[in-house]
Structure formats: C-alpha cells, structure tokens
Amino acid sequence: MEVVLAAASLTIIPCLCCINYEKKKVMLGPLLLRPSCVVRAGPHPGRLLPGLLPQSENVCSVCGHEGVDELHQFWECPGLASSDWPEASGSQALVPMAINEASTFPCLWFRGMLPASLCCSAPIPPPTELLDIHLFDPHGLSPNPLVWPPGLYGTDGAGGEFSSFPELRRVGCGIARMSELDGGGGFELIWAANLLLPGVVQTVPRSELFAIVVLLGI
C-alpha cells in the first residue's frame, strides 16, 4: 500500500511584526515555507494515521529510514539537502534547532504556524518622535548638557540585534569625544552621548547622518 502525501497543504505566514523578538533570530522565511513545499511520495507515517500501515511498511521512500515520523519527513531525511525546493535544501542550517524544539513547538516546525507563546501580546511600540540625548560625562566636562566640550569626536549608528527586520528595527546614535594619548599611541574615551533615532524612518545610514547633525547643531 502506498500513499502520496503533500505535506502541510496549509501554511500560515503571519505578519512579521507579531513575532516574538527571540524567534526573530530564526530564518523564518525558509522555516514557514519548508513544510508546505516538501512533497513525499511513499507511505505516510503510521503514527500519524494509526492503522493505515503496518510499522514494517513505514519506511522513507527517499532514504530507506524505518519508522518515519514528522521530524524525519520534514527535517531529518538526508534527501532534503538535495531537494529541488530551495526552501528545503536552503534551510538545512535549521535542522539542529528543529530537532531540539520539535517536541515543544510542533506546530511551528511541522506546520509553519506560530504558537501563541511566540507572538507578541501587544503591538510593537512605534519609534520615538522625541530628541532625548543621554550624556556620559565622568569628568564633568559639560555642566550644561547643551554645551559640549570642543575636541576630537567620533559618531556612529546601529540598528541593534534585529536590524535586518524593518518592522522591529529601532536605531540608535552614538557620539563620543576622544582624547589623544601622549605619544600618539591611541585614544581614550572621555565623554559620550547617545540617543534613539526619532522618526518613522529607522535605518542605520540615517542614524549615522543624524548623529553628525546633532553634533554640529549643539
């Protein structure tokens, strides 16, 4: 007896802004597409459809593995590495994570559906619209926070841990005053300022330019 299975015919791809921050570390694109693109010709796992097949016939038609279950079908089968579907062959790096988390989040790893525990309980707050500058002044160089000391400055901007996801990206700006050490052997941090980038457009290039604008405007 042989059953042709099109695995996970329904895949839900949620709005990225609803996904828990910690799970954004996972390559969600390949993960959510993989279950819907893996098509397995052969016996369906006996434990998924009890009584349909004898255990002796529950063998992977691709690699010959006995006792096929969903984990093997979607992730562990070595044949997936050479699949014609890029969503399967290109997501092999997720196999160890799938093995570790499949029993905890089966709907995520076998159906591409996010469990409620991985969704935000509230909408992600919008970017700030305020210019709020925080100073680091251990030597008391600027008693008036609006008057910064002259000297050699460096500026930078960064989008944080989730910078590759526009919906989650919140960019910060950094400004530092450096002092040349005697002998030209390096620089010492003696004063600094940091701030969140105001406005809807949250990009690293904009934050780098905005840090310079703030420095020149003080």
pLDDT tens digits, one per residue of 128-177:
999 999 999 998 988 888 888 888 889 999 998 888 888 889 999 999 99
- The boundaries of the domain holding residue 168 are 133-217
Is 112 in the same domain as 14?
A: yes
181-209 average pLDDT score: 86
Co-location of 101 and 169 in the same domain: no
Distances (CA, A) of 18 to 10, 21, 121, 187, 193: 19, 9, 8, 43, 32
Pair 119, 19: CB distance under 8 Å:
yes
Of 73, 94, 118, the residue that ends a domain is 118
Which of residues 118, 142, 177 is at a domain's end?
118
Confidence (pLDDT) at 200? 93
* Residue 49, domain member (yes or no): yes
Last residue of a domain, one of 88, 118, 148: 118
List the structure tokens of 174: 């950094």
| Domain-located, residue 97 | yes
The mean-pLDDT minimum among 51-65, 110-124, 155-169 falls in 51-65
> Do 66 and 110 belong together in one domain?
yes
Percent of the chain with pLDDT strictly greater than 90: 31
What pLDDT does 175 receive? 95
Confidence of residue 39 (pLDDT cuts 50, 70, 90): very low
Q: Could you tell me if 76 and 51 lie in one domain? A: yes
In this structure, is residue 90 part of a structural domain? yes
Residues 117/17, Cβ–Cβ less than 8 Å: no
Give the predicted TM-score (pTM) of the model: 0.55
